[in-house]
Amino acid sequence: MRIRYSRWDGSQSVPDLDADEILSAISDDLMADGDLWSALRRMYQRGAQTPQGRMPGLQDLLKRLRKERQQKLDRYDLGSTMEDIQKKLDEILQTERQGIEQRVPPGAERDQKMERLDQMPPSPAGRIRALQSYDFTEPEAKRKFDELLKSLQQQMMQPFLQNMQQGLQNMTPQDIQRMREMMRDLNRMMRDRLNGEEPDFQGFKDKWGQQFPGAESLDDVLEQMGRRMGQMQSLMESLSPEQRQQMQDMMRSLFMQDERLEAEMRQLAANLEQLMPMDSMRQRYEFRGEEEIGMREAMELMSELQQMDELERQLRAAQDQDDLQAINPEQVERLLGEESARDLERLRELARKLEEAGYLDRQGDKTELTARAIRKIADKALRDIFSHLKRDRFGRHMLNRRGAGGDPTDESKTYEFGDPFLLDLKETVMNAVERTGQGTPVRLVPDDFAVYRTEFSTQSATVVMLDLSRSMIYNGCFLPAKKVALALNALIAGQFPRDQLHIIGFSLYAREFKADQIPGLNPSETSIGTNMQAGFQLSRQLLGRQKGGNKQIIMITDGEPTAHMEDGEPEFSYPPTRRTIQETLKEVQRCTREGITINTFMLEQSRLLTAFVEQMAKINRGRAFFATPERLGEYVLVDYVANKRRAAS
């Protein structure tokens, strides 16, 4: 089977993530920030990189939306809307001329009719006004004009009567009277609202409810009308000043036969403006295209562009699961296509999948990671570290004491008293044959017995001291340090369950943390000082409870000690005082007397830190490493494992 790989460009299909992949994708972000929902929000925004490809986020949907909108702006010429109307009026006049020539004999009557057509105003508004009182000779010209007039009236009336489109196509004087009556009732309700009175919406609904399906309140009616009026306002704003004036003149001309209807419409628009400000809907669009577009298509285009604007506001404002649920996937599919709708659905499913997998614990408004999720994150940290290891990269150091037998090796040795009796039968028999020569029976003596060598495993108690000072964040060291603490916890729990591990964070003070607190652990802006003395003191107390085994402190820091305790209160000074250095080294001496080894992992090679660690190593005989943040985990874990296992001699 041949497999071809290509760079992800947004068009490839990415399988849905399962809960483990989601947790893995946010783990580093969660560890860096310490806030579960902040990590999820960033995943919503940026998407996620998975082994199968990249899952798009809200920012990708925004890019697609903006691209789609720009394509429409670059395609159409909105000014052609008025040109389209002008062309239709020219066609009507040409049809009327041809009808006059065919139906009216040459003479004064024909000349008068032709002269009147010649005197028609050049503007669309003027021609519409003049043709409404013109006595057509050609029926086809009359039909075309009535069709154009009703179509334009329908478009102009849509902001107010969006559900009467069918009736507007065959408008009769009685229809106009009913529309005028409905607008009057709407204006009455809006005046009541403006005057602080309660409108009789139920009476309006009983009478006109069929024209506003789904509206259960006056606010619903206002929203429906406001959305449509916004389309007309955007259309007007997007025209040039000259085209806008022509459109306004034409709108006034459309209803010149019923001034009362026009008055109600104007009043309705004014009331709507007061109750529902239209500034957010009065959006100007910069069209740069050349493709012509008619009035009806222009209104539909305004509707689509405004839906895009609203979707963009929702995508930009989305911060949590509730915001995502409020975005209509059908609208996303309509505006951006099926793939974008699927991408939105994947994002909406993230938190639900984590919760169903048992990784999130929701208690009211509070949601936290479960112990199972913490273990998963720790296992990932461990895998990430060991996946980069190379054999024999680091040296080893001697154990303070030997432990009980561990796993057998492929080598054998002569049995000594106290060895685990893992008999190497083949080697034992061969020893006897070599001693006595060929023949049977083969008789064994104690010196013939051979056993497999075993790796000695030492039980140990370890404290990981994490520097929580602000410089750890600024230098990019804190995330690797947290991952090391979690990975070491996973390593011990999985391979050395008899070992003990404590995690201490220190800055101005020192305190112990549980492993499940590490992902959310984050130094604050008030985390000043590097109080190693307090950290060593607390470590010594914790390790003093352990009986037997090796005791060690693994300190991860990027700076020298700048604080110590005086009468139970911290004293901070930078640069560090001689007193701070002395008090810290005194605590190192106490650790040394109690058999505690201090291994230091320096994330900076500053002169002061190096000098202090050298003094500490002379007292404690522990080891010091310099490691970049990216390699920290490899040093710590390999050094820990190296001290756990030795082949017996």
Query: What is the pLDDT at residue 26?
Result: 76
Q: Which of 372, 357, 376, 477 is nearest to 25 (CA)?
A: 376
pLDDT at 436 over 60: yes
Query: What is the pLDDT at residue 405?
Result: 45
Please give the structure tokens belonging to residue 89. Answer: 């009026």
Please give the DSSP secondary-structure letter assigned to residue 549.
S
Query: What is the pLDDT at residue 392?
Result: 37
Query: What is the pLDDT at residue 642?
Result: 61
Q: Which of 16, 17, 25 is nearest to 377 (CA)?
A: 25
The answer to which of 83-92, 420-429, 457-466 has the lowest mean pLDDT is: 457-466
Residues 6+ apart with CB under 8 A from 247: 82, 235, 236, 239
pLDDT in tens, 133-186: 888 999 999 999 888 887 777 776 655 554 444 444 455 667 777 878 888 888
CA-CA-CA-CA torsion sign (333, 337, 338, 342): negative
Please give the structure tokens belonging to residue 65. Answer: 């939306």
- Max mean pLDDT among 45-49, 162-166, 504-508, 644-648 falls in 504-508
Q: Which of 310, 137, 252, 503 is nearest to 145 (CA)?
A: 137
Report the alpha-carbon distance of residue 231 to residue 245 in Å, rounded.
Answer: 17
- Max mean pLDDT among 29-38, 116-125, 310-319, 579-588 falls in 579-588
pLDDT at 500 over 70: yes
pLDDT at 455 over 60: no
pLDDT at 371 over 80: no
The answer to which of 258-262, 358-362, 439-443 has the lowest mean pLDDT is: 258-262
Helix (H, G, I), strand (E, B) or coil at 58: helix
pLDDT band for 11, please (50, 70, 90 cuts).
Answer: low
Mean pLDDT of 568-585: 91
CATH superfamily membership of 460-647: von Willebrand factor, type A domain (3.40.50.410)
- Max mean pLDDT among 54-58, 116-120, 269-273, 387-391 falls in 116-120
CATH 3.40.50.410 residue ranges in the chain? 460-647
Please state, in angstroms and as integers, the Cα–Cα distance from residue 461 to each residue in 38, 239, 385, 482, 550, following that order: 35, 77, 22, 19, 6
pLDDT at 435 over 70: yes
H helix or E strand, kind and range, residue 362:
strand 360-363
pLDDT band for 382, please (50, 70, 90 cuts).
Answer: low
Q: What backbone torsions phi and psi does residue 206 show, to the nearest 5 degrees?
A: -60, -30
Mean pLDDT of 608-628: 84
